[in-house]
A and B are shown apart, each in its own frame.
Chain A
Amino acid sequence: MKSAIKIFFLSIVIVSALQSCRKAGGNYPGDEYTYDMIHSKAYETYSLNPELKDSVSALLPVAGTVPYTGNAITGEYDAAKGEMNLPYQYLNTPDDYERAGIEIKSMLNITPEILAEGKHYFDIYCAVCHGANGDGKGYIVTEGKYTAVPPSYFADGYINMSDGKMFHSLTYGKGAMQSYAYALSKEERWKVIAYINQLQDNYAAENKITIPAVADSIQTAKNNINN
């Protein structure tokens, strides 16, 4: 009986001691033990690193870094993919915008899988403003939250926009739209463009219109700039 009472009081003490530990809430992350098993001694992605500029440990790759695009297991290398991921050579100028429109083309072999992937990225990054159909009626636009209403992909001058111009806009931004290079790799940008082309083709087929040909010479492009 005596020992039972001792155990009882001992457990009361243990429970009260444990209860007195502060739980997480608000700005306090909670009491913890084994500190050195929880917190990394190495700098982690989001930890502060006093050795680096702005104490940011998550650094960008060196400028001009080319991602490895081969299959890691089989070692197969897709040359088109590799070339697609080379650094982008055009500058963020109106001239280069026109040049890109004429000179660069998608190297993707368009398959249903690629279109599905393009739709996946389009729905995440583009549809919020451009609308899921590409009509420029995205949710934040129709709700009046975003005042820079984007053009419809089916408007004149947009429905026949060249792939190169779209790629340039995605890379550097255009108008109120900012660069999406942070989110989409070059390959992924081409996939999104393939999907946008599909949207435009579908629209043209539904409304029985023919998409005018894209301007195909530097001279026409220059004329366009001058106009």
Chain B
Amino acid sequence: MLNLKLFRFHRLLLVISLSVTCFLFNASFVKADVIAGKALFEANCQRCHIMGRESTGPNLVGVTTRGNWTDSTSLYKWIKNSQGYLASSGDTYAAELYKKYGSIMPAFANLSDADISNILMFVNGWEPPTLVENGGSDETASNDNTALYIIIIAILGLVAFILSRSVKQLQGMVRQKHDDPEPDPIPWYKKRNYRPIVGVLALLLFSWLSIAMYNSATSLGRQTGYAPDQPIAFSHKIHAGINKIDCRYCHVGAERGKAAVIPSLSVCMNCHYNIQELSENTPEYPKSVYDKEIKKIYEYAGFDAATLKYTKEATPIKWVKVHNLPDHVYFNHSQHVKVAGLECQSCHGMVQEMDVVEQVNNLSMGWCLNCHRQTEVNFTNGFYKDYEDLHNKLESGEIKAVHAEDIGATDCQRCHY
């Protein structure tokens, strides 16, 4: 009798656990596709396509309902090899797009069909962000699903345990009824029939453990997601996004040297000499909050806003550096911005959409190398011309050998930097 009661209780537990698991799976896996699509979109598309408005490329809202893109095979072909598609298909809609935007989309041969499908899922599910008073958004709940997976696995384990217990109890009850002898004492998992199942389970467990170990070990010492508060609530979104001020207006070093340069107070004062308060009061940027932040610049600069005179001595603002590289890495901004012609967003993400700057890429060595493997060298810049000249002189016999000095090895900066 007692056994039967226990059995009913187990059955109830089982039903509850299964339904919770189904719900969690449902919730997490739909999200996973869109999250993957968002990441791919940010990495590949966002440099030209901005969701919700025209940019270098068209606004992608409703892209799968326009022109030839209703046919997904042609859209996929276009994304993978836009130039090839334009030449071979004779698609007039695509030709029109090319005409309208004046440049053709680069080929994304590296995207698989699944990747493109994820991106389109993100694009089609995109909704414009809603304005929230005082920025109190609950989107801060992290995208880290580890806790969710642990809960799911725990529940599944519980289900398996309950099932096995119930089966045993049922077997016992049956045996009692028929006065059967005890079954053989070899446990089920040692039986020949179960070996493949045990093997697959062990393999899955091993893979999961390895992945979890790898992910958690590599994230140690990396600062993805670091978004510190600054002494002044400076919003890149207002300055670079809404007001469209070029990044290099303030970060003057980006084209010229190793550091992009955190601007000095005088750069703030270029505009805030005149702009002493917000031009409009919006729920996103309430004047009551942001006007005070502008006043902070004047305190640091020793500036009297009423008379437009510098009355006190200035003290520098102690901005908190967000993107940090280890001491053993040499990184030069000008080599990337000036020579390679990279956009700031390629490494720093969409800073013009951030109120608080956050590190979006992990700045790991593998991340750097990925780009270095794909980037083609531009031989037309002056650096290679000097080598070419030396090569020509060597061939014509004008010089006998190229010494290290000829390629700048005696420059002071070769050793003293």
Chain A interface (Cβ within 8 Å of chain B)? 4, 8, 11-12, 14-15, 18-19, 21, 23-34, 37-41, 45-46, 48, 54, 56, 72-73, 123-125, 128, 139-140, 143-148, 176-180, 182-183
Contact = CB atoms under 8 A, between A and B. Distances in A.
A56 B205 CA distance: 53
A46 B259 contact: yes
B275 A26 contact: no
B213 A14 contact: yes
The 7 residue pairs across chains A and B that have the minimum distance between CB atoms: A18-B216, A32-B221, A24-B226, A24-B223, A40-B327, A25-B225, A178-B270
B327 to A, nearest CB: 4
Contacts, number: 133
B220 A31 contact: yes
Given A29-B226, A54-B316, A124 B246 contact: yes
B288 to A, nearest CB: 19
Interface in B276-325: 279, 315-316, 318-319, 321, 324
24 contacts: A4-B202, A11-B209, A11-B213, A15-B213, A18-B212, A18-B216, A18-B220, A19-B212, A21-B216, A24-B223, A30-B219, A30-B221, A30-B226, A72-B408, A73-B407, A123-B246, A143-B243, A145-B275, A145-B279, A177-B270, A178-B266, A178-B273, A179-B266, A182-B252
Nearest to A179: B266
Contact of A39 (B146, B213, B264, B327): B327
A168 B279 CA distance: 31
Contacts of B252: 182-183
A26 B320 CA distance: 12
Given A25-B225, A128-B249, 13 more contacts: A8-B209, A11-B213, A12-B209, A15-B209, A24-B225, A30-B220, A46-B319, A46-B321, A54-B316, A72-B408, A128-B244, A148-B274, A176-B273
Contact of B359 (A24, A128, A145): A24
B243 A29 contact: no
A146 B244 contact: no
Contact of A38 (B224, B327, B406): B327
Contact of B217 (A18, A28, A30): A18
A183 to B, nearest CB: 5
Interface in B181-234: 202, 205, 209, 212-213, 216-217, 219-229
A133 to B, nearest CB: 16
B326 interface: yes
A146 B15 CA distance: 64
Contacts of A73: 386, 406-408
A171 B19 CA distance: 72
Contacts of B217: 18
Nearest to A124: B246
B263 to A, nearest CB: 8
B342 interface: no
B205 A8 contact: yes
Contacts of A27: 227-229
Given A125-B249, A176-B274, A182 B267 contact: yes
Contacts of A140: 243-245, 271
A112 B222 CA distance: 45
A179 B222 CA distance: 39
Contacts of B271: 140, 146
A30 B223 contact: yes
B328 interface: yes
B391 interface: no
Given A25-B227, A72-B411, A183-B249, A38 B326 contact: yes
Contacts of B327: 37-41
B66 interface: no
Contacts of A178: 266, 269-270, 273
B315 A37 contact: no
B31 interface: no
B220 A33 contact: yes
Nearest to A40: B327
B267 A28 contact: no
Nearest to B358: A25
Contacts of A34: 221
B262 interface: yes
B100 to A, nearest CB: 21
Nearest to B268: A178
Central interface residue in A4, A24, A54, A56, by most chain B CB within 10 Å: A24
Contacts of B212: 15, 18-19
Contacts of A38: 221, 324, 326-327
Contacts of B269: 178
Contacts of B209: 8, 11-12, 15
Interface in B361-396: 386
A25 B141 CA distance: 12
A183 B257 CA distance: 13
Nearest to B405: A73
Contacts of A40: 327
Contacts of B267: 182-183
Q: Which of B249, B267, B319, B411 has the most CB of A within 10 A?
A: B249
Contact of B275 (A30, A123, A143, A146): A146
Contacts of B223: 24, 29-30
Contacts of A12: 209
A89 B221 CA distance: 51
A178 B411 CA distance: 36
Given A31-B220, A33-B221, A179-B266, A18 B408 contact: no
